[in-house]
Structure 1
Amino acid sequence: MASWLLLLWLLALFPGAAPVPFKPRAAGARAWEPSSPELLAPARFALDEYNRGRAAGSRAVLGTVRGRVRRTAQGSLYSLEATLEEPPCKDPLVCLLPVSKKTMLCTFEILNELGKHILLRRDCGPVDTKVTDNRNESVSSFLPQLNSDPLQQDFSMKITSVFKDFVATYNRTYESEEEAQWRLSVFARNMVRAQKIQALDRGTAQYGVTKFSDLTEEEFHTIYLNPLLREEPSKKMRLAKSLTDPAPPEWDWRKKGAVTEVKDQGMCGSCWAFSVTGNVEGQWFLNRGTLLSLSEQELLDCDKVDKACLGGLPSNAYTAIEKLGGLETEDDYSYQGHVQACSFSAQMAKVYINDSVELSQNEQKLAAWLAQKGPISVAINAFGMQFYRHGIAHPLRPLCSPWLIDHAVLLVGYGNRSNIPFWAIKNSWGSDWGEEGYYYLHRGSGACGVNTMASSAVVN
């Protein structure tokens, strides 16, 4: 795909942007050589990379291939344009769009050096789709009537049916018929958006219906995310000492008893408090041998530097815990999901911390620290998480910039699935989101800024 076409197509994911369908390269834009046997080996390698991590039955097959080869000092550089045929989607909660062609058009840059192929670049997008995402459309125009295109009509009926299931599953009630119709239109647009995110993800993540599917993007950001993470300067903490032991191949603190059950922050931007309490829970367990569920509400009420449901920073929260004299348990100081008067009692505190440290941005060092020292508080860009269902997310960097972090979470482990490295992340949106409350994100590429704000409490 030409770079400017790719950019416009990506921009269709953002509010107010007009959708731009993926189209083949214009004739004459690049001098492609006819397909030759020499192109098949790099094309098959590119196909294997495209299908990496996919289960049998969901892998694309190679269609047409054309391209050219340039000889370099390092070997041969192949520039390919190929069509890939996707199998029909079998998950009705993920693939709702009436795509007329299950065909992807991809451009690849592949270097062959000493007989080994290396994928330098991959750009893929659907050749054609029938659904548009116009945010100014009314409900009636977005959900066509009986005299409309049969394909659109089928989409309308499918969306309406899935929306009814969504309302029943998540026990949604709306104040009026007009509100219900509005939420249906938001839901339909969100399904379009979820499939665009799906098409651009380089991992194995599946996006579709979640409990947030009837919220606009603005509502979701305002209610559940934490803009202070990128807007407010983080308090300086001392750097943790580097560890000499290498990271084991995989690690999971859930299996070792250091992680409490997934919690739910509710309609409150308090992720920063949950990230910190999760870290302190792990530190106390590793140093004192007892796993306690600790109070996020104490931080909402008593941390006067942060802004409760309007957001906060983990670095401030550690300081607040030290100054207060510790944390009470969840049972003694229960979560309400809104700020109230501070009722912390030092006599009721069950846990204390001595200090806090900032951790390396090197993901290998982060993995080594996690395996030896415990779960880590981190901040990420939550792009796509509104519609995340399962799998390993790996969004394109321009869409999930590390400079735009807006959600605090907890690293509890890492490993590999189908040779794809991942971080196991405990979220705070309840166990009815994601993989039983967990999010899996690509490891080793700085995906979504996961390595930019890593920290931990210190318990002596």
Structure 2
Amino acid sequence: MRSLLFITLLLAFVASALAFDSDFLNEPVHDRVLIDKINNSPKVAWKATSYSQFEKMTLGEFRKRLGTVLIQKGTADMLPKKTIAPLVGTPAAFDSRTKWPNCVHPIRNQEQCGSCWAFSASEVLSDRFCIASTGKDNVVLSPQYMVSCDTSDYGCDGGYLNNAWNFLATTGIPTDSCVPYTSQNGDVAACPSTCQNGGSIKLYRAKNPQQLNDIPSIMADMEANGPVQAAFSVYRDFMSYKSGVYHHVSGSLLGGHAIKIVGWGVDSVSNKPYWIVANSWGPSWGLNGFFWILRGSDECGIEDNVWGAGVLL
């Protein structure tokens, strides 16, 4: 079973890499016609814009801001999943930032490295250490340590969520101040043996990471323990997201992306249910670095591959 899973994942990774021709990847990031189509359609529940920081980038360059190898539905069923009984009276809206305002850490920026898998996993673990310790371990943990040291993933060329959580459980990661992020330009430093100041590395580890089985389990785990990690398929229109409840309208598939889900709600304008999601493209993108995505219909696979974990205090 393990070898079959590996072969399936490897084939999915190779197919993704070969799916784009050079002409397409040389196109500019923003499609003005597509942006106008989104903004002028009454059937679309979100608004699009162009971002100055992406103006001179090609699609090929932008794809470096993705980096999660997506697991197909059939393959995902091979992985162990956890079902959690929903809490009594699950609220219509929930926001981790409100429940734990000092523990859900600020938006970060992975820049030109496909390290979203490491950013979102380390951010979830950071938040959960703070929550589980009632603020005593209010740490920002190091995505760079995962990029440089997790040999089961591919550094700036992407990674798997299940591998990332296995690394967090078996090895662990230090604080960001110990091993700060240096892969902004796509270069990956060797795995460090000491902190940047020469001090000893203290590792923070996850406990019993689990892929969450369904929406009630996702909600129950988030409400009790804090944000979760998820992956989804990114299409060209998503890069231009500005506000509202994202759902795919048009544009080619660009790859997989990992993010941190912090809550859920219902849009008062469109009446559509959504997840509240923290991205890793900086605070000037979307809703101050966050976005809403349609909840309950597995939009772009957002509910397929969701992870939570305890922490070793």
TM-score bracket relative to the smaller structure:
0.7 to 0.9
The separation in 2 between residues aligned to 1:355 and 1:249, in whole angstroms, is: 28
| Offset at residue 443 of structure 1 (A) | 1.1
Partner of 1:355: 208
Structure of higher RCO (CA pairs closer than 8 Å, 6+ residues apart): 2
SS of residue matched to 1:371:
helix
Q: Which has the larger radius of gyration?
A: 1
Return the letter of the residue paired with 1:363. Answer: I
Return the letter of the residue paired with 2:173. Answer: L
Matches within 5 A, 1:167-186: 186=28
User: Does 1:205 find its partner at 2:46?
Assistant: yes
Paired residues of 2:173 and 2:205 also in contact (CA < 8 A): yes
Which stretches in structure 2 are left out of the alignment for 5+ residues? Answer: 1-19
Paired residues of 2:230 and 2:259 also in contact (CA < 8 A): yes
Partner of 2:264: 414
Matches within 5 A, 1:61-140: none
Q: Alpha-carbon deviations, 1:280-322, whole Å to 9, x = none?
A: 1122122222321110000011001100110001211122223
Paired residues of 1:356 and 1:455 also in contact (CA < 8 A): yes
| Offset at residue 215 of structure 1 (A) | 2.5
The separation in 1 between residues aligned to 2:150 and 2:48, in whole angstroms, is: 36
Partner residue of 2:59 out of 195, 217, 223: 217
Percent identical among aligned pairs is: 26
The separation in 2 between residues aligned to 1:224 and 1:389, in whole angstroms, is: 17
| Offset at residue 426 of structure 1 (A) | 0.4
Paired residues of 2:66 and 2:255 also in contact (CA < 8 A): no
Return the letter of the residue paired with 1:206. Answer: K
User: Does 1:373 find its partner at 2:219?
Assistant: no
The separation in 2 between residues aligned to 1:408 and 1:200, in whole angstroms, is: 28
Partner residue of 1:450 out of 299, 302, 307: 302
| Offset at residue 448 of structure 1 (A) | 1.2
Partner residue of 2:240 out of 381, 387, 393: 387
Partner residue of 1:295 out of 135, 142, 153: 142
| Offset at residue 416 of structure 1 (A) | 1.6
User: Does 1:309 find its partner at 2:156?
Assistant: yes
Partner residue of 1:193 out of 15, 22, 34: 34
Partner of 1:67: none
Paired residues of 1:270 and 1:310 also in contact (CA < 8 A): yes
Return the letter of the residue paired with 2:191. Answer: C
The separation in 2 between residues aligned to 1:237 and 1:230, in whole angstroms, is: 10
Return the letter of the residue paired with 1:252. Answer: D
The separation in 1 between residues aligned to 2:61 and 2:233, in whole angstroms, is: 16
Q: Alpha-carbon deviations, 1:397-438, whole Å to 9, x = none?
A: x8688xx86000010011122132111100000111111100
Which stretches in structure 1 are left out of the alignment for 5+ residues? Answer: 1-14, 17-134, 137-182
- Cα distance change of structure 1 residues 369 and 323 upon mapping to structure 2, 3 Å threshold: closer
Partner of 1:248: 91
Matches within 5 A, 1:237-276: 238-246=80-88, 247-255=90-98, 256-257=100-101, 258-276=103-121
Paired residues of 2:169 and 2:209 also in contact (CA < 8 A): no
Q: TM-score when scaled to structure 2?
A: 0.78
Partner of 1:342: 191
Partner residue of 2:176 out of 312, 322, 330: 330
- Cα distance change of structure 1 residues 230 and 240 upon mapping to structure 2, 3 Å threshold: closer
Matches within 5 A, 1:35-54: none
| Offset at residue 202 of structure 1 (A) | 4.4
Q: TM-score when scaled to structure 1?
A: 0.54
The separation in 2 between residues aligned to 1:458 and 1:186, in whole angstroms, is: 42
Paired residues of 1:234 and 1:313 also in contact (CA < 8 A): no
